[in-house]
Amino acid sequence: MLQDKKLAPAAPPPAIGGDTAQAALTTGGLLAAFGVASCCALPLALPLLGISAASLIGIGFVAGQYQRELFYGSVICLAAAAFVMARRRKAQACSPAAARTRAVLDWSCRIALVLALGLLALTFWIAPPI
C-alpha cells in the first residue's frame, strides 16, 4: 500500500557558497572602487554636492599610490560578482522549485555593483588612473 503513493521530490537546498561569493566579490569591488575614486575623483565631486571631502585626505594619500592596482582589482571583483549573479539567476530560472531565499542580499549586491561602477566611471571622467 505504501508503494502506491508517489512522493514529490524535495526542493534542492539553497546554495550558501554562491551567496558568500557574491557578497564578498561585490564588497571587495566596491571597496576597491572607493579606493580608486578617493584619490582624485571624490575630493572634486563631493564638494559639488555640498559634502566635505576633508576626511578623504588620509584614504586618498594611501590609496593614491596603489590606484592602478586597486582599479584592476575592482574590475576583476566586479566582473566576477556579475558572473556569479548571472549564473545564480540562470540556475534559479531553470529550477522552478528553487525559492528565492535571500532577495535582500541579492538586491544589496546589485546596488553595490551599480554604485561601484558609478565610482569607476566618475574616476575616469575626472582623472583617469591609467
Question: What's 25-38 look like in SS3?
Answer: HHHHHHHHHHHHHH
pTM of the model: 0.76
Q: Which amino acid is at 10?
A: A
In the chain, where the domains are located: 17-45+54-126
Phi, psi of 54 (to 5 degrees): -65, -30
pLDDT of residue 2: 54
Number of CB atoms found within 10 A of residue 14's CB? 14
For the segment 67-106, what is each residue's pLDDT rounded down to a tens digit? 899 999 999 999 999 999 888 887 777 766 555 556 788 8
Interval 2-38: pLDDT, tens: 555 565 555 555 555 668 888 999 999 999 999 999 8
Side chain identity, residue 97: A
